Structure 1
């Protein structure tokens, strides 16, 4: 008797069992948004994408690029940037809207308003939830991406389990504290901030956290800047290492996963400051 059909069926069953969509529905799906300084393909975003996926045991970490145009090196020079500015600000990867210089007015344009990116971001979220129905949804973002993520999470038609803000840009360019969206949130939020982040003075963020009506946690990376980079001198003073820092962050994300997915009182067991 020909045994080929059963063999074929067994192979199909094995293949179906390894499909990402068949992963336990308790595994979250993460939508991870980039900041104003670099796209989703930047080294920073790729590293944190892997960290989020592994730490949260996520079925997928979805990244994307906001609809903004990149600027070429020749255009940067043509708009009057110096070698120093090119080296310090652009690194050949940064987004044009951060540094674009209006030829007529001679002024650099600010990044696009976060509010204008919400609909595009929501579209990505809806496509993701359609692909992974039943999986808890976590929104994560770097800098501007974290602010837009919070705006999306505040929408009544989006079912979000938690938000992870990496380097939240609390302080506007004019110095104003942008806390309106944070105070509107009704889901758990975790902030990871560098103690030397010029875009988010810790004392101001701590004050906002106290006013927020939902569970939130602030994890401070001592000596870290807006992208959590820590100088060697500070590492030596603190007796810390980058490996130790990564382990602590993994533990934080692990607790986030456990608490949110069990639908218990989140953020109560983290204990990091």
Structure 2
């Protein structure tokens, strides 16, 4: 099944960020649109794609669940191979998309990894951690996380053994999609802009470090 990716940013960009969606929303959700546009405003080209199950939802209207992990990882590998021919590549994604990217990052020559709302554990199951591979991850990684994310809040994550290659940027009072409560004084749009700014800065520094 072929698809047309969504592309933000210039073709002559020095770096390309391949971005995958989360489990429930497509590559053109408001979250993905805002984040991609924000990163692209810093001169990085952002390329969004969809996993097979989400493509099927779009073309056939079939609300299928996410594909098996092997299928998701193969989709990631195909995207990386295709885009790397054009220059340095970073990868990342929202929730599940970012987690799948983290599972494959060390197998490719990746400039950096961006995880937006990493699902450290399933909802309501903090004992079922998805962190085993994060203890020795070598790819420079930025996780942007809301402090009250129900899939890994600030207090929980502080106790996890994570690789020194991982940096975490916290969004105050943000939930899994970075949305804060009104009483916090923060806004969802503001948090998305912060996320994009922090991610772009992280990636440009990694690119500079690589020479």
Question: What's the TM-score, normalizing by structure 2?
Answer: 0.81
Q: Which residue of 2 aligns with 1:47?
A: 34
* Equivalent pair of 1:154/1:184 in contact (CA under 8 Å): no
How much does 1:243 deviate?
Answer: 6.2
Which residue is equivalent to 2:52? 67
Q: In the comparison of the two structures, how many residue pairs are matched?
A: 196
Greater helix fraction, Structure 1 or Structure 2: 1
Q: Which segments of 5 or more consecutive residues in structure 1 lack a partner in the other structure? A: 1-19, 76-94, 99-110, 265-273
Instruction: Tell me which residue corresponds to 1:219.
Output: 169
Whose RCO is larger (CA < 8 A, sep 6+)? 2
Measure how far apart 1:211 and its partner are: 3.4
The change in CA–CA distance for 1:249 and 1:172 in structure 2 (over 3 A counts) is closer
Q: CA 1:71–1:126 in 2, change beyond 3 Å: closer, same or farther?
A: closer
Asked if 1:186 corresponds to 2:138, the answer is yes
Q: Residues 124, 71 of structure 1: CA spacing in aligned structure 2 closer, same or farther, 3 A cutoff?
A: closer
Cα distance per residue 1:204-251 (max 9 Å; x no partner): 32333x531x4221111111111111121122xxxx455654554354
Gaps spanning 5+ residues in structure 2: where? 1-9
Distance 2:196 2:130 in 1: 28
Q: Report the Cα offset of residue 257 of structure 1.
A: 3.2
Tell me the TM-score normalized by structure 1.
Answer: 0.64
Determine which structure has more spread, i.e. the larger CA radius of gyration. 1
Match of 1:121 among 64, 67, 76: 76
List per-residue Cα deviations over 1:38-63 (Å, max 9, x = no partner). Answer: 111222211111112123x11x2111
Q: 1:203 aligns with which of 151, 155, 163?
A: 155
**Greater strand content:** 2
Change (3 A) 1:178 1:54: same
The separation in 1 between residues aligned to 2:192 and 2:82, in whole angstroms, is 31
Decide which of 179, 191, 202 is 1:229's aligned counterpart. 179
Structure-2 change in CA distance of 1:190 and 1:125 (3 Å): same
Given candidates 143, 149, 172, the residue that maps to 2:101 is: 149
Alignment of 1:1-273 (within 5 A): 21=11, 23=12, 27-55=14-42, 57-58=43-44, 60-68=45-53, 69-70=56-57, 96-98=63-65, 111-130=66-85, 132=86, 135-155=87-107, 158-172=108-122, 174-175=125-126, 176-208=128-160, 210-212=161-163, 214-235=164-185, 240-241=186-187, 245=191, 248-263=194-209
Deviations 1:110-140 (A, max 9, x none): x44434310111101111112x1xx321112
In 2 relative to 1, CA 205–115 (structure 1 residues): closer, same or farther, beyond 3 Å?
A: farther
Runs of at least 4 residues off by over 6 Å: none
Over aligned residues, Cα RMSD in angstroms? Answer: 2.6
